[in-house]
């Protein structure tokens, strides 16, 4: 399951290395986000577990959650069709 998540969401959250810094690996970003969603850990706990700064974690989580929603939107979130009178 995690391999599928990396394959499908990875291209959306992948960044390029620059001369100033190396980009965080896609697997690390997904691991941080899944850990937060699964266990409800606080940012300081994630910060010390993964050795990533708190402000970076906040950006990563928003980015990865948005990518997951966009990737799985058509498969999982299916809106029911409206009836003729416009009500459900």
Q: Which domains does the chain have, with CATH numbers?
A: 2-76 (1.10.10)
Tell me the CA distances in angstroms from 43 to 4, 31, 46, 68, 87, one per residue in order. Answer: 26, 13, 5, 20, 42
Q: Do 13 and 26 meet the contact criterion of CB atoms below 8 Å apart?
A: yes
78 pLDDT above the threshold of 80: no
pTM score, whole prediction? 0.78
Encode pLDDT of 15-43 as tens digits.
999 999 899 999 999 999 999 999 988 99
User: Which residues fall within 8 angstroms of residue 5, CB to CB, at 6 or more apart?
Assistant: 30, 34, 68
Please, where are the H alpha helices in 41-88?
43-50, 54-76
pLDDT digits (tens, 9 = 90+) for 35-72: 999 998 899 999 999 999 999 999 999 999 999 998 98
């Amino acid at each position: 399951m995690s391999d599928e998540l990396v394959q499908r969401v990875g291209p959306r959250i992948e960044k390029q290395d620059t001369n100033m810094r190396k980009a965080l690996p896609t697997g690390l970003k997904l691991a941080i986000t899944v850990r937060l969603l699964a266990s409800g850990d606080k940012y300081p706990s994630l910060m010390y577990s993964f050795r990533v700064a708190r402000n970076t974690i906040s950006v990563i989580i928003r980015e990865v959650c948005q990518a997951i929603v966009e990737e799985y939107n058509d498969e999982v979130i299916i809106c029911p069709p409206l009836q003729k009178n416009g009500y459900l």
